[in-house]
Amino acid sequence: DLTLVEGQTVLLFLLGDVTLPHLNVTGKGVVTHANNGFSFTISGGVSADNGADVTLNTVTISNEDDILLYANNGATLTSIDTIGAGSYRGFASAVGAGSTVNLQGSLDTGSAATSGWQFVEAAYFGTVQANAFPLTGTFIGDRYNVRKQGLSRSWGGSRTYFPGVVAGTAASGGVYA
């Protein structure tokens, strides 16, 4: 876990293949992972909280029976060229005012989840933005769930843009755009 103080910046520069059990970033600082040709695997998901700003580039993420990318309390989490691995219940979730998950570059869902959760979730003024091409793989569950003034933005992608076997839902002021 990394806890940042106001304005602190951390650059993760890999010197070899790395597997972390979990990446949890809390605080108003910036964490950036520079892809320098080594594999970066996070086996317990990524959480960003309390204004943290996290950018990951070319990473494989798994989180058995939970969410892979989670932003809360005004945090921003950007993932570029991401691969989902193992069984998980959701790919990205942003909950709380100012919380944002950005999905960029290529996106591979990896193994399909086996639960009824959603691929992306946005709630309580949180936003999930996807500008990921190509988007490959399958997901067993809902495509999206936006509620309580949450926003899921696919930049012109149709309501079938996100993978899933069940249509997405927008309720209680949630918007899919």
Average pLDDT rounded to a whole number, residues 12-24: 76
How far is residue 128's CA from residue 71's CA, in Å, rounded to a whole number?
Answer: 9
At 172 the pLDDT is 94
Number of H helices, E strands in the chain: 0, 18
Q: Which of 18-27, 30-39, 67-76, 133-142 has the highest mean pLDDT?
A: 67-76
* Separation of first and last alpha carbons in the chain: 34
Mean pLDDT for the chain?
Answer: 84
50 forms bridges with which residues in the sheet? none
Token pair for 168 = 């997405």
- pLDDT confidence band for 32 (50 / 70 / 90): confident
The per-residue pLDDT for range 152-171, each reduced to its tens digit, is: 999 888 888 898 888 899 99
How far is residue 46's CA from residue 85's CA, in Å, rounded to a whole number?
Answer: 13
- pLDDT confidence band for 94 (50 / 70 / 90): very high
Identify the DSSP state of 112: P
Token pair for 40 = 């970066």
How far is residue 112's CA from residue 139's CA, in Å, rounded to a whole number?
Answer: 5
